[in-house]
């Protein structure tokens, strides 16, 4: 847990970024085709319900070698730490993660400015890990497991624009960022990626489903364009600063990821998770959203950035 909190709330960081790049649009629609209304003068927690989220940031104020995590009770008090997490000129919630910076664990290779779902909403009596009221489970879990959890099945709706991706580094890593996840006890039922290669005008969207170890190989799905490091410019790709929405939904063994864009047909990918192992009694879930940089080989100040205009999580 972050210590001391006050030092992070007031810290000033210097990051070599060439303009913030967020979209300033007159009208933005969310995943339900509703017009988004945000206050550019408000803090992120005033525009968005962040009461059941914590945030990891690539800073280390207590010098323990691990990226700081701001718990939900402090996040809702109005955390704003430019250029990592703040309100854009159009009211959006900006997340930025440079290549260089502390990681969330000794085993993590990449930096992130990323929210972690915390269903306990600041109740410190509830443990953050395990089958507790802080996390949720799939409805395929046993009845006694479902009763102990904070929710059953779930939906995450987000509307965002990716403003910047890395342009330096290894060909296999350049330009890629994770913008949404379901994290389980140790594995990820879904990771949603945006990637734009330096020579392409538009980016692609793809996802990964990771069964538990011993339950099969990781599965990759191209939703828009190709995730290949030498892919051609995607004909129907998503440009930087272009607003789009995604919905991640789980009902039992069925995982559905939907990409939603104004004036275009929805792109839907379903995954059958019946043999993935997530019905086991030790498997708990939580959503993650923001930017999880997937490049550690580029120039230190190269970075990823996205601006969110909608973030809504729900469970049964």
Q: What is the CATH number of the domain that holds 43?
A: 2.60.120.200
Provide the number of structural domains found in the chain.
1
Write the burial class of residue 308 (CB in 10 Å: 0-12 exposed, 13-18 middle, 19+ buried): buried
Please say whether the beta carbons of 298 and 177 come within 8 A: no
User: In this predicted structure, which of 12-26, 28-42, 184-198 has the lowest mean pLDDT?
Assistant: 12-26
CA 169 vs CA 47, 99, 231, 263: distances in Å: 35, 10, 17, 35
For residue 104, what are its two tokens?
């969330």
* pLDDT over threshold 60, residue 79: yes
Q: Is residue 145 a part of any domain in this protein?
A: yes
Q: Is residue 23 a part of any domain in this protein?
A: no
Q: Residue 8 gets which letter from DSSP?
A: H
Task: Write down the pLDDT at residue 108.
Answer: 87
Angstrom distance (rounded) from CA 94 to CA 241: 12
Q: Is residue 22 a part of any domain in this protein?
A: no
Q: Which residues contact 211 (CB under 8 A, 6 or more apart)?
A: 187, 217, 218, 219, 273, 275, 276, 277
Q: How many residues would you count in the chain?
A: 316
Q: Is residue 150 a part of any domain in this protein?
A: yes
Average pLDDT, the chain: 92
Task: Give pLDDT tens digits for 123-166.
Answer: 999 999 999 999 999 999 999 999 999 999 999 999 999 999 99
Q: Is residue 65 a part of any domain in this protein?
A: yes
Q: Is residue 98 a part of any domain in this protein?
A: yes
Q: What is the reported pTM?
A: 0.93
Q: Which residues contact 144 (CB under 8 A, 6 or more apart)?
A: none
Task: Give pLDDT tens digits for 266-284.
Answer: 999 999 999 999 999 999 9
Please say whether the beta carbons of 140 and 153 come within 8 A: no
Q: Which residues contact 63 (CB under 8 A, 6 or more apart)?
A: none
Please say whether the beta carbons of 52 and 118 come within 8 A: yes
Angstrom distance (rounded) from CA 306 to CA 291: 7
Q: Which residues contact 38 (CB under 8 A, 6 or more apart)?
A: 47, 87, 90, 91, 92, 309
Q: Is residue 20 a part of any domain in this protein?
A: no
Task: Write down the pLDDT at residue 6.
Answer: 45
Q: Residue 259 gets which letter from DSSP?
A: E
- What is the mean predicted confidence (pLDDT) over 253-275? 97
Q: Which residues contact 14 (CB under 8 A, 6 or more apart)?
A: none
Within 10 Å of residue 272's Cβ, how many Cβ atoms?
10
Q: Is residue 97 a part of any domain in this protein?
A: yes
Q: Residue 34 gets which letter from DSSP?
A: P
Angstrom distance (rounded) from CA 250 to CA 258: 12
Note down the domain range covering 124. Answer: 5-14+29-314
């Amino acid at each position: 847990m972050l210590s001391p909190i006050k030092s992070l709330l007031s810290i000033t960081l210097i990051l070599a970024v060439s303009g913030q790049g967020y979209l300033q649009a007159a009208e933005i629609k969310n995943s339900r085709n509703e017009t988004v209304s945000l206050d550019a003068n408000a803090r992120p927690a005033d525009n968005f319900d962040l009461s059941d989220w914590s945030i990891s940031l690539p800073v280390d104020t207590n010098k323990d070698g691990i990226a700081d995590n701001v718990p939900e009770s402090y996040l809702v008090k109005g955390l704003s730490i430019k250029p990592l997490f703040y309100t854009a000129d159009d009211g959006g919630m900006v997340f930025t993660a440079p290549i260089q910076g502390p990681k969330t664990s000794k085993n993590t290779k990449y930096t992130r400015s990323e929210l972690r779902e915390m269903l306990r909403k600041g109740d410190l009596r509830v443990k953050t890990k395990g089958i507790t009221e802080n996390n949720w489970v799939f409805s395929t879990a046993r009845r006694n497991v479902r009763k102990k959890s904070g929710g059953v099945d779930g939906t995450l709706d987000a509307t965002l624009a990716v403003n910047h991706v890395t342009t330096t580094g290894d060909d296999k890593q350049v330009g890629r960022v994770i913008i949404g996840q379901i994290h389980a006890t140790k594995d990820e039922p879904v990771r949603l990626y945006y990637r734009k290669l330096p020579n392409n005008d538009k980016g692609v969207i793809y996802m990964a489903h990771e069964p538990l170890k011993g339950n099969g190989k990781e599965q990759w799905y191209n939703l828009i364009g190709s995730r290949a490091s030498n892919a051609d410019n995607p004909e129907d790709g998503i440009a930087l600063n272009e607003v789009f929405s995604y919905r991640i939904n789980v009902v039992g063994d069925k995982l559905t990821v939907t990409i939603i864009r104004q004036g275009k047909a929805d792109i839907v990918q379903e995954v059958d998770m019946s043999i993935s192992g997530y019905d086991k009694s030790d498997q708990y879930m939580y959503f993650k959203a923001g930017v999880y940089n997937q490049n550690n080989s580029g120039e230190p100040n190269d970075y990823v950035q996205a601006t969110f205009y909608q973030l809504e999580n729900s469970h049964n």
